[in-house]
């Protein structure tokens, strides 16, 4: 786990100094070592910050040059099957032994590329990674990102130069960078709580999509061109018919054994490290299964870490403690208060580097800091919900559409028009007269308008897209923009034979997982120099999960049915079976109390008007109703607050770090 940055330029300045300045901004991702590689004749610079995990010796230094001298690489991430690949490479080169310099996964990756080429190597490796590869013979710079987007990679044009980096702060450090906020990306951030790839919050700067390669051809001194990213892997581009037929031939017991074996192999591979290792444990299905397999593999106690809250209804720490006691792990827990949350909030814009509004970023950042004080690598259960059908909204979405699609189109449009015939506040006045007070929090004008949006959906995919949104584009909250392009993921895949459950999972795997869940964990962990690993996202586990029939994913009203059957082998069901809570925290309550002054400062009407990004009226109206306790607008308000906090931090930064 490290940080990379670099550029191709035809400009005249101190290239090595500029590259070093960019990588210096990533010191938190790689505090152990730094390096730069320069090809002045081509105008190419590649920089690296290292967090040493495997091969702690100087032989793991990067950027690394291949033995043949043709390739130069800077790698962020881990190749988990590097030992098996090394053995294969050595066997193939028995007549002419490979002159290995160390035992790092980076060196194995370089040798594989030399022997097999980039495309075949990508099909052979198992891991999480983002890397830059310079081919000195073909004069081509390739940027590559792992299959699920566990590791970040930004790229784009600043003037005539091509730039790239693990985080935006590295790109802002490029000489004379003048990055401006993209209003369309801002609208999407307010809609989803994050900026969906391939966009970033800045114009002309992009995120490389998961499972993609971007090739940049360099001609002359710093002149470059690219045809854009190409996908080398996608979960729905597999040989699904064959795989589904294979799964259909397995009975329930065989499916459980197959998943147990696949996930067990992934856990064992991801436990390889030359530094202390532990795991996050929430007490839920996914993290409990990962920890159980780790402890079953290890001869020593696994270190586990969890976060808790004093507020009733949000605290899952006792469940995690019970699971830890059953498995025999060395368990540590940290309880978070509103005061703890307030203390870290001012750091969030720097940690996440672009507006990001999943409120569980707060406990994630805090548990990462606690974990880093004990270990350098932590395994997590990320990916289980998306791959194995764990989100309650999957069943809600399916139920809603089954009811909606029975209505004629004209009836749905008429009902939607009626729902919008009154403003949300007018509906609230009606409900105050017609609805008993004990029911009013369950029905509101805002929810009436949300239902109208769902009724208006032309397809199931479009309905799901609206179901997972907060601020909708029609709200006009972002000023001076009509360009609100849809995210890269498809909103409807029914024409490709996908079930409704598969469509929802595909949307989440393509967008929500890499742009929210994995961003949240990566930035929080790397801000403190902690590497995180997700065994459930091993692509062999994922491909097996994707081929499973719906009825072994969701059964008897419970998601992750097959995953639960595997967990039953390790942990008693009574310790796990409870309503899904996720990594929730009491933000709605805190915004009305401990965080109120901070929020009021950022949502000040005069401030909003002077900044000119957001429409004050709908924001202030929603804020007043939230404070009154008649509505819970936590998600909408938190999205706005995270943009405002990021904007304020950007405006306060030195000029070389300014983002707007």
d(Cα 347, Cα 132) in Å, to the nearest integer? 29
d(Cα 297, Cα 319) in Å, to the nearest integer? 23
Nearest to 172 by CA among 190, 156, 194: 156
Which residue matches tokens 């495309």? 119
Interacting residues of 59 by C-beta distance below 8 A, sequence separation 6+: 101, 102, 103, 104, 107
d(Cα 524, Cα 528) in Å, to the nearest integer? 7
Residues 564, 558 contacting (CB under 8 angstroms): yes
d(Cα 551, Cα 562) in Å, to the nearest integer? 9
Nearest to 208 by CA among 146, 154, 151, 163: 154
Which residue matches tokens 């950042």? 365
Count of CB atoms within 10 A of residue 296's CB? 14
Q: Which tokens is 427 given?
A: 């509906």
Which residue matches tokens 């444990």? 281
Count of CB atoms within 10 A of residue 495's CB? 9
The question of whether 115 is a catalytic residue gets the answer no
d(Cα 71, Cα 517) in Å, to the nearest integer? 33
Q: What is the DSSP letter of 386?
A: H
d(Cα 66, Cα 109) in Å, to the nearest integer? 10
Q: What is the DSSP letter of 209?
A: P
Please identify every residue annotated as catalytic: 2
């Amino acid at each position: 786990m490290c940080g990379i940055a670099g550029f191709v330029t035809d400009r005249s300045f101190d290239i090595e100094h500029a590259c070093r300045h960019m990588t210096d901004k990533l010191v938190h991702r790689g505090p152990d070592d730094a390096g730069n590689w320069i090809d002045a004749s081509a105008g190419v610079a590649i920089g690296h910050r290292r967090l040493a995990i495997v091969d702690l010796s100087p032989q793991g230094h990067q950027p690394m040059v291949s033995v043949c001298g043709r390739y130069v690489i800077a790698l962020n991430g881990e190749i988990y099957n590097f030992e098996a690949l090394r053995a294969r490479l050595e066997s193939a080169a028995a007549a002419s032994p490979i002159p290995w310099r160390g035992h790092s996964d980076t060196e194995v990756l370089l040798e594989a590329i030399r022997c097999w080429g980039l495309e075949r190597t990508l099909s052979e490796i198992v891991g999480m990674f983002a890397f830059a590869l310079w081919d000195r013979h073909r004069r081509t710079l390739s940027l590559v990102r792992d299959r699920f987007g566990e590791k970040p990679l930004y790229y784009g044009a600043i003037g005539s130069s091509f730039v790239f980096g693990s985080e935006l702060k590295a790109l802002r450090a490029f000489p004379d960078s003048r990055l401006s906020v993209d209003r369309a990306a801002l609208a999407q951030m307010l809609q989803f709580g994050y900026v969906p790839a391939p966009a970033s919050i800045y114009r002309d700067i992009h995120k490389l999509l998961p499972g993609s390669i971007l090739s940049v051809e360099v001609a002359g001194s710093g002149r470059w061109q690219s045809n854009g990213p190409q996908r080398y892997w996608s979960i729905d581009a597999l040989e699904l018919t064959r795989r589904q037929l294979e799964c259909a031939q397995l009975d329930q017991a065989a499916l459980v054994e197959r998943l147990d074996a696949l996930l067990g192999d992934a856990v064992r591979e991801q436990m390889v490290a030359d530094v202390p290792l532990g795991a996050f444990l929430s007490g839920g299905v996914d993290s409990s299964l990962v920890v159980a397999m780790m402890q079953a593999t290890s001869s020593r106690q696994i270190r586990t870490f969890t976060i808790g809250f004093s507020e009733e209804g949000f605290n899952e720490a006792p469940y995690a403690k019970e699971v830890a006691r059953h498995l025999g792990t060395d368990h540590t827990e940290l309880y978070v208060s509103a005061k703890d949350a307030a203390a870290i909030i001012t750091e969030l814009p720097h940690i996440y580097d672009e507006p990001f509004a999943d409120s569980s970023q707060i406990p994630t950042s805090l548990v990462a800091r606690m974990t880093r004080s004990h270990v350098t690598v932590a395994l997590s259960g990320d990916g289980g919900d998306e791959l194995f059908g764990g989100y309650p909204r999957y069943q809600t979405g399916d139920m809603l559409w089954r009811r909606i699609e029975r209505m004629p189109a004209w009836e749905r449009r008429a009902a939607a028009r009626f729902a919008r015939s009154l403003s949300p506040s007018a509906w609230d006045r009606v409900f105050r007269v017609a609805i008993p007070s004990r029911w009013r929090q369950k029905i509101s004008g805002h929810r009436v308008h949300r239902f109208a949006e769902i009724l208006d959906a032309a397809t199931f995919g479009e309905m799901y897209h609206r179901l997972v949104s907060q601020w909708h584009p029609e709200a006009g909250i972002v000023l001076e923009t009509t360009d609100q392009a849809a995210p890269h993921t498809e909103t409807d895949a029914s024409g490709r034979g996908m079930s409704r459950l598969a469509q929802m999972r595909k949307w989440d795997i393509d967008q929500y997982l890499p742009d929210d869940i994995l961003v949240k964990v990566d930035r929080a962990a790397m801000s403190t120099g902690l590497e995180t690993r997700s065994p459930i996202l091993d692509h062999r586990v994922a491909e097996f999960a994707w081929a499973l029939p719906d009825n072994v994913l969701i059964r008897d009203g419970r998601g992750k049915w097959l995953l639960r059957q595997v967990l039953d082998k390790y942990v008693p069901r009574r310790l796990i079976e409870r309503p899904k809570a996720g990594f929730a925290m009491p933000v709605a309550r805190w915004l009305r109390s401990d965080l109120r002054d901070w929020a009021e400062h950022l949502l000040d009407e005069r401030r909003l008007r002077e900044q000119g990004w957001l429409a004050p009226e709908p924001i202030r109206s929603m804020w007043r109703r939230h404070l009154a306790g008649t509505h819970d607008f936590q998600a909408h308000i938190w999205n706005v607050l995270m943009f405002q906090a990021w904007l304020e931090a950007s405006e306060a930064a030195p000029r070389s770090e300014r983002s707007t």
